[in-house]
Structure 1
Amino acid sequence: MSHIDELIAEFAPQGVEFRLLGDIAELVRGNGMPKADLTEEGVGAIHYGQIYTRYGVWATETISFVAPETAVKLAKAQPGDIIITNTSENIEDVGKAVAWLGGEPIVTGGHATVVKHNEDPKYLSYWFQSESFFVQKRALATGTKVIDVSAKQLMKVRIPVPPLEVQREIVRILDQFTQLEAELEAELEAELEARRRQYASYRDSLVNAVDGPRVAMGELGTFMRGRRFTKSDVVESGIPSIHYGEIYTDYGVSASRAKREVNSDMVAQLRFAQPRDVIFAGVGETVVDVGKAVAWLGDGPVAVHDDTFSFTSELDPKYVSYAVQTDDFHAQKANHVARGKVKRLSSAGLSKIKIPVPTAEEQERIVSILDSFDALVNDLSIGLPAELAARRKQYEYYRDKLLTFGEPAA
């Protein structure tokens, strides 16, 4: 019998009780606090968007602040409260939680709910990561383009509420396991980053060693700008599409399937990249990001956003996609980027950048070699990425086992 089983036998001999979240906590919906309100000093503040990207299970310090006169209008989180997100673009992120363990009250805004309770805050925050919560929030969620689980819906979530002694033991174990997992993950990430640098160096040397002319891209093919569509145009089933922002976050060197689709009614107002075209992002937050490309290898055309350019040529599309990752390409590109708050690269600028042009056979050989290297550092099914993914799944498995209880017999 584990120590947790012993504690349950001692403090909950009839079994662990399940309660509605609304029965064990007060849920206070946040309001306001756009990013423009955030400052570098003042009253601590957690913006709902930061919970996805900047916070873990718990926090003792905030990344952002708001002015005191702004804070008085916002929802307050006391030490020990949970802040949970209500809105996201996907079901995985909605309902992500952070336990506030700092010494002073802080504030939060719209699209977040403060959960005020008498349980162990880290226990609740860990439970909000569990498979049990995921299944329930999926059933309670509304919306397709933007997913929402309201405070009212969250109140319906059924949660196991073991005695505090059991909660604290679970937290102790999960804290240790989380620390070990984080240390191992950091080691694997460092090794993976070293492999990526090695791969980038080899890729550059392979492309730069090409025995062939260096030709401006405008002489090798044509660029076509896409047409505008927005997130509100995204549907479950429609026209395959690629938005410029997705090139940074969702795509690698090439793609044969689009991650998202837009409304079929828009077909007449869209522009399409054809199979074997290379799609460039024309906008980015940094000079390095702008101009990132993905080779489109799908069976049919794909709609492209107006901040992208599709490049049509006789070159191997994956060779082009690899060639425009090199330091030489980035150095030339930097001369053509418009440096405002948002960095922009025009088709005219892209047309002036020169890339090495080997024979078709040599392009194929280079692609074959680099595909193998790219898989080793980016493919989640093999190598270090696979080991990282396996460690995360192992952690999730043991976390869920610790947070799963049989319900007492009626």
Structure 2
Amino acid sequence: MTNWPTKKLGEICEIEGGDAAPQDKTIFENGTIPFVRMQDLGRYHITTNLIETVDKITNEALQKFRLKIWPKGSILLPRSGSVYMNHRAILGIDACVVSHIAILTNFSKEILNKYLFYYLTILDIGRFGTQTTGIDSISFSQLGRLKIPLPPLNIQQKIVERLDAIKKAQELNDKQIELAEELFQSLLHRELDPKGKNWEMKRLGEVANFQYGYTESAKERGNFCFIRITDIDDNGELINLDKKYIQADEKEVLPYILEKSDLLIARTGATFGKMLYFDSVEPSVFASYLIRVKPNKNIIIPKLIWLFSRTSDYWKQAWNLMTGSGQQQFNANKIKRIKIPLPPLETQQKIVEKLSAVQEYKKKLVQQKELLKELFESVLHKSMAGKFD
């Protein structure tokens, strides 16, 4: 707690709403004026510089519908439909704004707009709102009654500078992650493209064996970790959150116990074809909606197959082979037909090492991203509590 005075939000700024979005799509063709929709706010989630929008409106439409252009520096937050998502943004450009979003402007001299923005990010505004016809919302009067602590301006500035410095580090780290992914994709295409390399092309069925997983209900505890489709992330790596287990006799599940470098492929649902490279040391069994691929290591390095599963060539083949009119099915007989380039083992090793090095670098950046997020949250809450040690 602090001894800072407080004022209601409505006393330190003006709170208004955006305009109803014109329904004629042609209005947004060749437009030049940014039009902020909820999806734009959601894409950023939390930002001090919202500058990109999906839609831009024409000057003619601006006049016809009497839309208002809100100034750069205005604070945006949801007021209906996505209140509980707690999106927050500062406009980095002059822009029109949709009616589902509240706009804070004309801040009093006793508050910095960036300090107010940062303070609003720690508030779960949804708990102050209501639901009408199943849609969460918060009224202008409810927003206006929110109490805002007002430290002296020099303290506000200090808080902003501390948080801005971490935000800057986060942005630089995010850019490095983006560049690392671009490098990975570029190398992936270049290294695994068989054109002009005189490599054999083999079907997966010629270089690996296949096995369906174990049928059992997942539990919170057990002696084997139970790997399911939902445990594989979009990058084909194991998610270590919300792990599930089974309690089973080792002899019974012995054929399903995973070994390092095993590959698992999702065979059904929207994520069919997604492949995991298993490298965990935790005793684990794989579930029935997964297929284990056991490559012949005398012919092909398992990780090369996993890397190939990240290419457009793999996914093009997977989509062409997919069966099932409703639930998408990707059974072993189909997977066996996927063609994969087969360079010499020495070349395979070099390719795997090169691409793995980039992935390890990106993994460290992602870990850094989490640490920076934790640091930002810690500094934010301490600063708002008046703690500056």
TM range (shorter): 0.5 to 0.7
Q: Equivalent residue for 2:224?
A: none
Decide whether aligned partners of structure 1 residues 156 and 259 sit closer, same or farther in structure 2, where only a CA change above 3 A counts: farther
TM-score if structure 1 supplies the norm length? 0.53
1:196·1:377 contact (CA, 8 Å) conserved in 2?
no
**Following the alignment from structure 1 to structure 2, what is the Cα–Cα distance between the partners of residues 166 and 46?**
32
Residue 405 of structure 1 is aligned with which of 382, 386, 389? Answer: 386
Q: What are the within-5 Å matches in structure 2 for residues 139-178 of structure 1?
A: 139-140=127-128, 148=136, 150-151=138-139, 154-155=143-144, 157-163=146-152, 167=156, 170-171=159-160, 173=161, 177=165
Q: Equivalent residue for 1:376?
A: 360
**Following the alignment from structure 1 to structure 2, what is the Cα–Cα distance between the partners of residues 257 and 179?**
27
Amino acid at match of 1:177: A
**Following the alignment from structure 1 to structure 2, what is the Cα–Cα distance between the partners of residues 35 and 175?**
39
Deviation at 1:27, TM superposition (A): 4.0
RMSD of aligned residue pairs (Cα, Å)? 6.2
Q: Equivalent residue for 1:96?
A: 87
Aligned pair count reads 331
Q: Equivalent residue for 2:34?
A: 44
Q: Kindly, what percent of the aligned residue pairs are identical? A: 17
Deviation at 1:46, TM superposition (A): 0.7
Residue 238 of structure 2 is aligned with which of 239, 246, 255? Answer: 255
Decide whether aligned partners of structure 1 residues 97 and 59 sit closer, same or farther in structure 2, where only a CA change above 3 A counts: same
1:83·1:97 contact (CA, 8 Å) conserved in 2?
yes
Deviation at 1:252, TM superposition (A): 2.7
Q: Equivalent residue for 2:265?
A: 278
Q: Equivalent residue for 2:98?
A: 108
2:166·2:372 contact (CA, 8 Å) conserved in 1?
no
Residue 126 of structure 1 is aligned with which of 99, 102, 118? Answer: 118
Deviation at 1:370, TM superposition (A): 9.7
Q: What are the within-5 Å matches in structure 2 for residues 167-246 of structure 1?
A: 167=156, 170-171=159-160, 173=161, 177=165, 180-181=168-169, 184-185=172-173, 188-189=176-177, 192-193=180-181, 196=184, 200=188, 204=192, 214-215=202-203
2:15·2:102 contact (CA, 8 Å) conserved in 1?
yes
**Following the alignment from structure 1 to structure 2, what is the Cα–Cα distance between the partners of residues 278 and 90?**
38
Deviation at 1:72, TM superposition (A): 3.2
**Following the alignment from structure 1 to structure 2, what is the Cα–Cα distance between the partners of residues 222 and 98?**
50
Q: What are the within-5 Å matches in structure 2 for residues 310-349 of structure 1?
A: 320-326=305-311, 329=314, 333=317, 336=320
**Following the alignment from structure 1 to structure 2, what is the Cα–Cα distance between the partners of residues 25 and 392?**
29
Q: Equivalent residue for 1:72?
A: 65
**Following the alignment from structure 1 to structure 2, what is the Cα–Cα distance between the partners of residues 116 and 295?**
51
Q: Equivalent residue for 2:9?
A: 21
Deviation at 1:82, TM superposition (A): 1.8
Report whether the alignment pairs 1:355 with 2:340: yes
Q: For 1:16, what is the secondary structure of its paired residue?
A: coil
> Runs of 5+ in structure 1 lacking a partner?
1-13, 225-239, 262-274, 285-289, 305-309, 339-343
Amino acid at match of 2:37: H
Decide whether aligned partners of structure 1 residues 222 and 191 sit closer, same or farther in structure 2, where only a CA change above 3 A counts: closer
Deviation at 1:378, TM superposition (A): 4.9
**Following the alignment from structure 1 to structure 2, what is the Cα–Cα distance between the partners of residues 393 and 313?**
38
**Following the alignment from structure 1 to structure 2, what is the Cα–Cα distance between the partners of residues 398 and 322?**
39
Q: Equivalent residue for 1:270?
A: none
> Runs of 5+ in structure 2 lacking a partner?
213-226, 245-257, 297-301, 323-327
**Following the alignment from structure 2 to structure 1, what is the Cα–Cα distance between the partners of residues 126 and 170?**
28
Decide whether aligned partners of structure 1 residues 223 and 96 sit closer, same or farther in structure 2, where only a CA change above 3 A counts: farther
Q: Equivalent residue for 1:390?
A: 371
Q: Equivalent residue for 1:6?
A: none
TM-score if structure 2 supplies the norm length? 0.55
Q: For 2:117, what is the secondary structure of its paired residue?
A: helix
Q: For 2:28, what is the secondary structure of its paired residue?
A: coil
Deviation at 1:84, TM superposition (A): 0.8
